[in-house]
Every structure is written in C-alpha cells, then in structure tokens.
Structure 1
Amino acid sequence: MPPRCQARTDAVAEGTPIRILEGIRADALPLEMLLAEGEPVVLKGIAREAGLVQAGAHSVHDAMTYLRRFDAGMPVQYSFGGPGIGSRPFYNEDFTRLNFEVRRAPLAEVLDGIADHLDDPQPPTYYVASLLVERALPGFAQDNGLPLAAYGINAPASIWIGNGVVASCHFDAPQNLACCLVGSRRFTLFPPEQIDNLYPGPFDPTPGGQVVSTVDFDAPDFDRHPRFRDALATARTALLEPGDAIFIPSMWWHHVRSLAPFNVLLNYWWRSSPAFLSSPLPALHHAMWTLRDLPAREKQAWAKLFEYYVFGDAGQAGAHLPEQARDLLAPIDETQARRIRAMLLNRLNR
C-alpha cells in the first residue's frame, strides 16, 4: 500500500542529504569509523534480508502476521491519540498536558487498532515506542537484528510500531542505530549546537521521556520561532526505505516522520563510555538546581571552574600534581565511580 499524502507540507524536507553508504554488510559494520566521525550516516539496505522486511514487502497483513508469530502476549505501553492530533503526539495549547493518552494492552490489540484504520485519511494515532524486543517479542531479533554484540556493544534492541506518527524533534544521549523494517521514514537531523534555534519544550511532561522542540515542522511559525530559520540552514535529511538503517550520533537532534499507514523500526542505543560512568542528564538537572539562578558574576566564576575541571582537557587540572595525589583529577575508574556515587547520595539525602 503506498504512503498516504501528508495533510501539510514538511518545511524541512529539502535539507542537506545525509551521506549514504552502499553495500555495507551487517557483519561488517563500520562502527569505529562512525563513532570517530560523529556524523549521521545512512547504511543503505543493510537489513534488507530481515524477515519482517521481506514480509512487509508483500503486504501490511503479512507484516502484522509475522509480528504476531513472536508476540509473548504481555501488555505493552502505547500512545493513543484521536484523529484531531494530526498523528503528532505533542502538547495541548499551553504545554501543561499532553495531547494523547498512555495506554496498556496486548500488542495484538494495538495491531488490530492500526489495521482497522489503514485506509483512513486521518486515523487515530497508535504508537508503541521503545519496546524491548527480548521481553515482548522473544526470538524476533535473531532474524531481524544487527549483531552489535559481536562488536562488544551491549545494546538491547527496541522496537517502534505505529501508523503515520510524527516524532517531534529531540535528542538522545546515547549513540543510536535505527533500522527501518516496514514503511518508510523521513529523518531530519540537526547538530547539537542548534539547541537554542529549536526552542526546546518543558522537561516534564514530555511526549516520549525527552525534551522536544516546540516548533511545528509542518507549519513553522517564524514570528514565534524566528531562529528556526537558522536551524533549517543546518538540517540534514534522509528518506529511509525498508531495510535501510541510520546512524544518529549522540546528542544530535532528530525529527522522524513515518510515511506509511503501518510502520516498524528497530533501534539500538549504546554509550561509548564505560558502564560505570553515570548519564550526564542528572548532572544537568543538578546544575539547573544549584547554579542556574545564581547572580551573573557567580555563574561566570562557576562556568570557568567547570571549563577547568570538566569541559577542558581532561588531563589539564591534575597535570601539575604527582600522579598519586590526583585522586578525582585522574581518569575515573570503577572504584572512584562508586565512591563518587556514595558521596553524592549522602549529600543529597541530608
């Protein structure tokens, strides 16, 4: 079934094309190169032999039947919104509530709901996001996944199932490798430094657990969001067909539009740092709590301190000290990580 025509024009459809690599095999992923370059890349056709890709090439019905074969029957969490949300899980007018409901039901029931509205010009939105494959669809990844474990990467596969959903522009802290299995998707990416031109929304609530841009990419309001024009000048775009994958580097903003009446994507998140290093996001929250509202002169002093100890050369702060005296100024190891965690918990609990 061909993709439905979009009700509105995507303002960012004509960005700079993302680089495409052809002929990459799943057992020869160029991960070191991708991580070293830190740029988005499309891996054309890397998953074209996946079982679900093959089933979806026949029909939506065959794709859904294929998925049902692996369904463990457990309730899954999904987003549901009426036709009025325009397939865009987002906010109400004043950004105090979300415009959709979070529901739980067996995956088979979600698939039935999508199937009932395949021909609707504007269907209700069904969106299963970031569902761990191992628990919900045991055995699925064996014929549909990428062998990241062979590269020493512990990245459990997550699956995304829905109809023509628009995922608002957001960033993820980990590296991301996403495979389009059914339907086509348009990805629009922006480098991390574009954050102020993307007008991020509230920390809570969020449509998917992460801060999203408040700009409507279908109909940007440049009076309200004038700097979005600057973001558009940096936009990178790619249209993924079934079997294609995209590498999204850590912290890159990405807007994702599903273009078919039924769409499935498989993705892998992983961090390039050791597991004993905590996520930086709690540090951001803590800094907002403790530093953001200080007087300007104090903030400038703390900014210099952070530049010296955190954002500058990692070896600079302790370079003038004997090695045995560097303590936290030396590279963090697992023992130090546990000590820092205990210290922070103790202070926060006072």
Structure 2
Amino acid sequence: MSWEAASVRVMEGSSPGAPPLQTLLGDGVPTLLRGLARDWPLVQRGLQSPQSAMDHLREHYNGRPVQYSWGDPSTRGRPFYNAGFTELNCEVRRGGLDRVLEELASHLDDAHPPTYYVASLLVDQCLPGLRAAGNDLDFSDAGVQPPPSIWIGNRVTASCHYDAPNNIACCAVGRRRFTLFPPEQIANLYPGPLEPTPGGQAVSVVDFSAPDLERYPRFRQAMQAARSVVLEPGDALFIPSMWWHHVEGLDPFTVLVNYWWSSMPAWIPTPMHALYHAMWAIRDRPEGEKRAWREVFDHYVFGPAPRAGEHLPAPARGMLGEIDEMRARQLRAMLIDKLNR
C-alpha cells in the first residue's frame, strides 16, 4: 500500500486452537490472535514448502469439483470489474482441486501469474479429513459449531468488503495483509454494485495499492480510520460483524481457513433482505416521507428492542415482543403473502 494505517490490537497467549470468543465478542474490535493455529499440520507443512502444503490438501481431497475464479495476468491477482463496472474481470470455472493446485504450482515463480482463487469452499464438502487431521479450532466452550471454509490461491487481493457474521480467519499458508475499517466508514469506501460482485458481497471500488483521491476524495477519511496487520502462518484474526476488510495474499501460494458465525438464532434472517426491501419501498420517496420513516425505524428497529411494546401487556405485544421461532415463521408467511399480492 502507498499509505499507512494504525495497527490492529494483538492478543498474546491464547490457547492454541481455542479462541477466547467471549472476550472478542465483548470487546468488538479486530484482534490478532498470534499463533492460534500454529500447531496445525497444514501450517507446518506450508512452512516446509508450498508443495508440501499442496500435498497435505491432496491427501484429504475427495475429488468433488470446486468453483474458482481465474483471470489472465492482466488482472494482477485482483478479482474485480471491467472499466464500466458491468462485468467481472475474472472467469468463474469449475474443476478438480488437484488440477487447480497443479496450475498454482506451475506458476509459483512467475512475476505476473494468472489469478487462481478458490474462495469460501466448505472444508467438509471437499476436504472431509482435513479437520480430523488437526487443522481445526475448538469452539465448544462458546457453544457454537461454525463450519470452516477454505480459501486457496496465489497473490490474490479480496477487495474491501464486509460480512454480516462474526469471523475468525486463520492464515494457514503464506502471509496475508488485512486492512480493516469500522462500519461507519461505508460511504468513504465507495461500495460498488450490489450485483454482480466478485465474491457475493459489495466491494470498495478504490484501488488500495494506488488510491485515486481525486475520484474518491472521501477515502482520505477512511484512511484515517484504517487498521492494518500482516498475518504470518499460524496467526488468526478476529473480524467483528460488519467491519470492512481488504485482504491481500503476499506470497505465491496462500491458504486461509475461516469460521463465520452469527450472534443470532437460525430463525433470524440476514438483514440484507430488509436492506433490499427498504431500497425498493423507501429510498426513492420524497425527503419528508423518508425522514418520517427514519423516525418509525428508529422507534421499532434501531432503538432498544423492548421499547416499542413495553407500554403494552405482554399478551398484546405480538410482533413487538421477542421474536422466537414460531413468531419468525408467522412473520415469514405474512411477508411472503404480502409480497405475492
């Protein structure tokens, strides 16, 4: 990068394989967990050589085809858009992971290799023995069982984006640089189209390696709020829900394993559904109406959860009360009925 960012908080002494989730969630700030995954066989094999790490992955691969992004050398390892932001600059391909690893191995010494990026592949679907071999974190004390995903590629840059779930990202092979921004920086990061997207989520259109501050002047404010850290193999990073993060692979072969989990029960859907609905129903209304609806949302949604119904007897609160699984089903059925009219 051509600009400096503040450092990410570092937490030393975490038990290898067991993240301190309650502390992390309570503090709600990005945190480097140094050496959390250092005992993983995949990490140790990667420290020997890229080929050894690839062999370890092959040992547990079940032959199931995988989806990956491919781009010619002009993409510079950055799955992104064409000049008009109407199409992606990489192809989506399907094939064997063993073949992808062969291609990656053949370009390890290239100064400008093609882009290869296997993104968000569920470990248990294609590498079912990898966790049992010791490449896993222990979330049992926290009462959650997030399924891990694996990311395999070369010097790939995942453009700055946010994820709704909480995230622990483990750097298994190669180094990765993370640059993070708090959620309130969204406007200063200039998000691109909601569709298509390089990875299923809107990304910042700013080129972090050479920010065009004439075209994107508010990025200066984002830069002041940025935090950055380089993860070495075996390090892990806690990324709180909704924090923006820009991820750069720094070595010719890189592998990351991450764990996403929600703080909400399964019957509470992603807020992205509400965002799309609000854009449809509210965004283009006259400003006076939008201000009024902002007050309504502050009252019913963004204020304290019990406030809207606290003056009513519990049996009369209906949707203003706590939303349990049964109430969630009723809400879903009501919305489907209304949207289908």
Q: How does the TM-score come out when normalised to structure 1? A: 0.96
SS at match of 2:245: strand
Say whether residues 1:216 and 2:212 are aligned partners.
Answer: no
SS at match of 2:276: helix
Moved more, 29-38 or 164-173: 29-38
Query: Which residue of structure 2 aligns with residue 324 of structure 1?
Result: 315
Say whether residues 1:41 and 2:31 are aligned partners.
Answer: yes
Moved more, 141-150 or 310-319: 141-150
Q: Retained in 2: the 8 A contact 1:130–1:158?
A: yes
Q: How does the TM-score come out when normalised to structure 2? A: 0.98
Aligned residues: 340
SS at match of 1:256: strand
User: 1:187 corresponds to which letter in structure 2?
Assistant: F
Q: Retained in 2: the 8 A contact 1:158–1:267?
A: yes
Query: Which residue of structure 2 aligns with residue 238 of structure 1?
Result: 229
Q: Which of these residues, 61, 64, 67, is aligned with residue 74 of structure 1?
A: 64
CA deviation vs aligned residue, 1:290-329 (integer Å, no higher than 9, x gap) = 1000111111111100000000111111111111111111
Query: Which residue of structure 2 aligns with residue 345 of structure 1?
Result: 336
User: 1:169 corresponds to which letter in structure 2?
Assistant: C
The runs of at least 4 aligned residues of structure 1 exceeding 6 Å deviation read: none
CA deviation vs aligned residue, 1:247-276 (integer Å, no higher than 9, x gap) = 000000000000000000000001001111
SS at match of 1:68: helix
SS at match of 1:98: coil
Query: Which residue of structure 1 aligns with residue 327 of structure 2?
Result: 336
How far the C-alpha of 1:150 sits from its partner, in A, is 4.3
Q: Which of these residues, 257, 267, 275, is aligned with residue 248 of structure 2?
A: 257
SS at match of 1:110: helix
CA deviation vs aligned residue, 1:223-282 (integer Å, no higher than 9, x gap) = 000000000000000110000000000000000000000000000001001111111111
SS at match of 1:144: coil
Q: In the aligned structure 2, how far is the partner of 1:77 from the partner of 1:313?
A: 42
How far the C-alpha of 1:168 sits from its partner, in A, is 0.1
1:132-211 pair list within 5 angstroms: 132-142=122-132, 143-211=134-202
SS at match of 1:233: helix
Q: Retained in 2: the 8 A contact 1:26–1:147?
A: no
Q: In the aligned structure 2, how far is the partner of 1:343 from the partner of 1:36?
A: 35
Query: Which residue of structure 2 aligns with residue 266 of structure 1?
Result: 257
Query: Which residue of structure 2 aligns with residue 131 of structure 1?
Result: 121
Runs of at least 5 residues in structure 2 that lack an aligned partner in the other structure: none
User: 2:149 corresponds to which letter in structure 1?
Assistant: S
Say whether residues 1:309 and 2:325 are aligned partners.
Answer: no
Q: Retained in 2: the 8 A contact 1:53–1:182?
A: yes
User: 2:88 corresponds to which letter in structure 1?
Assistant: L
Q: Which of these residues, 6, 10, 33, is aligned with residue 16 of structure 1?
A: 6
What percentage of aligned pairs have identical amino acids?
A: 58
Q: In the aligned structure 2, how far is the partner of 1:280 from the partner of 1:217?
A: 28
1:279-298 pair list within 5 angstroms: 279-298=270-289
Q: Which of these residues, 105, 120, 135, is aligned with residue 115 of structure 1?
A: 105
CA deviation vs aligned residue, 1:98-122 (integer Å, no higher than 9, x gap) = 0000000000010011011000001
Q: Which of these residues, 217, 223, 228, is aligned with residue 226 of structure 1?
A: 217
Runs of at least 5 residues in structure 1 that lack an aligned partner in the other structure: 1-9
Report the RMSD for the aligned CA atoms in angstroms. Answer: 0.9
CA deviation vs aligned residue, 1:112-165 (integer Å, no higher than 9, x gap) = 110110000010000000000001001102211101244211310100000000
User: 1:199 corresponds to which letter in structure 2?
Assistant: Y
CA deviation vs aligned residue, 1:28-54 (integer Å, no higher than 9, x gap) = 421111111110000000110101001
Say whether residues 1:86 and 2:72 are aligned partners.
Answer: no
User: 1:67 corresponds to which letter in structure 2?
Assistant: L
Q: CA separation of 1:27/1:113 partners in 2, compared to 1, >3 Å: closer, same or farther?
A: closer
Q: Retained in 2: the 8 A contact 1:194–1:231?
A: yes
Query: Which residue of structure 1 aligns with residue 92 of structure 2?
Result: 102
